[in-house]
């Protein structure tokens, strides 16, 4: 068992103000695998004060200096890739292959993207007789979720540091261990004291203290829409900037001319990504009525081919859910779907065969789902797919947009111009056409109740910059 008894503040490991600890469970074995301190509001204040003291020097550091530190960070993360992947497997239950490629691989790729983008970024521009400068905003409070714990931390921390901001990171209580590896990497690269700080703890204590602290200039939060509203409420008291990436109920819109087999099989895989614990998961599959029965059969066959089991086994496609509470929540949605008249095609509430220990849920597909059903409207955050028929393109677009969320969507068509036209009509922060991969240099974020602001690329960098106009400044 890995026990951490310190928090990371002002460039050193130090004891928290209180001696309470949070136990971390392996969701596959239901065994406690680690402990971290429960940081208090006082610990958060200490970290914010350290970040505030470090800000003047770090904000004035040359871009080349910041790049040097980030280059070292990338190298340390790459050297510890397997350790990072296995840590996320242990605390989240992600299958090892997925953990290597995404949970540990994406943070390295995101860091690399900023190393490549930052040298060409224009921090100064001329407008008429004025000079416009983009300056680091100040102290960043980063509050991250448990489903992609390392990636979400890096996607906030790296652009904040690249912009010249200092950071206090509060990781999710269910999966804080990988954030300790990140803090160790920050320490190993010799980052100046106070530039990066780590305070684990409960969201209602450490998270709220960070969001409300008057010396925090921007809060970057990823998590549930309900918690995002609370973060916004606390942050508004000091009018600080808030960047949020919240829930989703993404539609996978399959047009009549699409390659149905590819669209359905890929769609099922995206719906079950990370055991369905992905905010961008395509959990609503919209299919032309004439192809509906074929799509339902194909989706069921594909779902049944997803191996559920030990996340350390190389062939596993779906690991456990993060906790017993999350499993019960998902099973509750499955029961609600049945009660409201949806047809269970495969999966269901019973435990996967031979898996009586661990928070496992069978990959589940519902057909005959109406747009007003709970399973078609609420974010389930588990391996549950709803398939809905539509009669024409306008109805499909209306169904896709008929949600409080607007994080992601997908469109399938052999006619790329048509797919582009439909994509532009979808109310979502990103739309993938024919299963295209997300570009790490493109903006990531949502609209409506999926949040505000963007991560990744120059758009993510700009969230940590403020714009100043200097009039009559002459030349550069």
DSSP letter for each residue of 399-467: HHH-SS--SEEEEE-S-HHHHHHHHHHS-SSEEEETTPPPPTTS-B--SGGGEES-BSHHHHHHTTEEE
Longest Cα pair distance anywhere in the chain, in angstroms?
74
* CA separation for the pair 297, 68 (Å, rounded): 53
DSSP letter at 205 equals I
* Annotation says 91 is catalytic: no
Collapse the DSSP code of 78 into the 3-class scheme (helix H, G, I; strand E, B; otherwise coil) and give the result: helix
* CA separation for the pair 76, 95 (Å, rounded): 23
Backbone phi, then psi, for 136, in 5-degree steps? -60, 140
The bridge status of strand 465-471 relative to strand 130-136 is antiparallel
H or E element, residue 287? strand 284-288
Residue with tokens 């009525």: 289
Annotated catalytic residue within 25, 208, 245, 379: 245
Annotated catalytic residue within 91, 279, 379, 463: 279
On the 0-12 / 13-18 / 19+ scale of CB atoms within 10 A, 97 is: middle
- Residue environment code for 277-297, b if the CB has 16+ CB neighbours within 10 A, otherwise e: bbbbbbbbbbbbeebbeebbe
Collapse the DSSP code of 52 into the 3-class scheme (helix H, G, I; strand E, B; otherwise coil) and give the result: helix
Written as six digits, the tokens of 399 are: 């169904």
Helix axes 149-163, 177-188, angle to 10 degrees: 30
Written as six digits, the tokens of 185 are: 């990497």
Helix axes 177-188, 81-92, angle to 10 degrees: 160
* CA separation for the pair 155, 144 (Å, rounded): 10
* Annotation says 447 is catalytic: no
Please, are residues 65 and 283 in contact by the beta-carbon 8 Å criterion? no
Please, are residues 248 and 277 in contact by the beta-carbon 8 Å criterion? no
Please, are residues 17 and 44 in contact by the beta-carbon 8 Å criterion? no
Catalytic (active-site) positions: 245, 279
């Amino acid at each position: 068992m890995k026990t951490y008894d310190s928090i990371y503040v002002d460039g050193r490991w130090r004891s928290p103000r209180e001696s309470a600890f949070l136990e971390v469970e392996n969701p596959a074995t239901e065994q406690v695998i680690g402990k971290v301190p429960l940081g208090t509001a006082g610990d958060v204040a200490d970290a914010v004060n350290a970040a505030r003291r470090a800000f003047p020097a770090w904000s004035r550091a040359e871009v080349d200096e910041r790049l040097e530190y980030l280059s070292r960070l990338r190298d340390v993360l790459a050297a510890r890739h397997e350790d990072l992947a296995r840590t996320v497997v242990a605390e989240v239950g992600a299958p090892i292959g997925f953990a290597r490629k995404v949970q540990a691989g994406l943070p390295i790729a995101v860091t690399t993207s900023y190393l490549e983008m930052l040298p060409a970024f224009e921090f100064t521009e001329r407008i008429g007789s004025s000079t416009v400068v983009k300056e680091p905003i100040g102290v960043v409070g980063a509050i991250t979720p448990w489903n992609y714990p390392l990636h979400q931390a890096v996607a906030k921390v790296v652009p904040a540091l690249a912009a010249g901001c200092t950071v206090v990171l509060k990781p999710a209580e269910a999966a804080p261990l990988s954030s300790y590896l990140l803090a160790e990497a920050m320490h190993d690269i010799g980052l100046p004291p106070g530039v990066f700080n780590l305070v684990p703890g409960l969201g209602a204590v450490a998270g709220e203290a960070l969001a409300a602290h008057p010396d925090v200039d921007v809060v970057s939060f990823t998590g549930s829409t309900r918690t995002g509203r609370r973060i916004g409420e606390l942050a508004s008291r000091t009018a600080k900037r808030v960047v949020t990436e919240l829930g989703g109920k993404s539609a996978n819109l399959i047009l009549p001319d699409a390659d149905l087999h590819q669209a359905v099989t890929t769609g099922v895989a995206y719906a079950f990504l990370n055991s369905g614990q992905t905010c961008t998961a395509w959990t609503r599959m919209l299919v032309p009525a004439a192809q509906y029965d074929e799509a339902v059969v194909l989706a069921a066959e594909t779902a049944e081919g997803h191996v559920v089991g030990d996340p350390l086994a190389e062939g596993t496609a779906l690991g456990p859910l993060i906790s017993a509470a999350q499993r019960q929540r998902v099973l509750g949605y499955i029961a609600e779907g049945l009660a409201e008249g949806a047809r269970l095609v495969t999966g269901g509430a019973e435990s996967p065969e031979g898996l009586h220990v661990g928070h496992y849920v069978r990959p589940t597909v519902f057909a005959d789902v109406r747009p007003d059903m709970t399973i078609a409207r609420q974010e389930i955050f588990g391996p549950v797919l709803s398939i809905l028929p539509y009669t024409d393109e306008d109805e499909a677009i209306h169904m896709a947009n008929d949600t409080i969320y607007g994080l992601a969507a997908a469109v399938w068509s052999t006619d790329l111009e048509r797919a582009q036209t439909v994509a532009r009509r979808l109310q979502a922060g990103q739309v993938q056409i024919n299963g295209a991969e997300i570009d790490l240099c493109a903006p990531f974020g949502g609209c409506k109740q999926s949040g505000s602001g963007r991560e990744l690329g120059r758009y993510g960098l700009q969230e940590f910059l403020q714009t100043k106009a200097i009039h009559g400044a002459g030349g550069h």
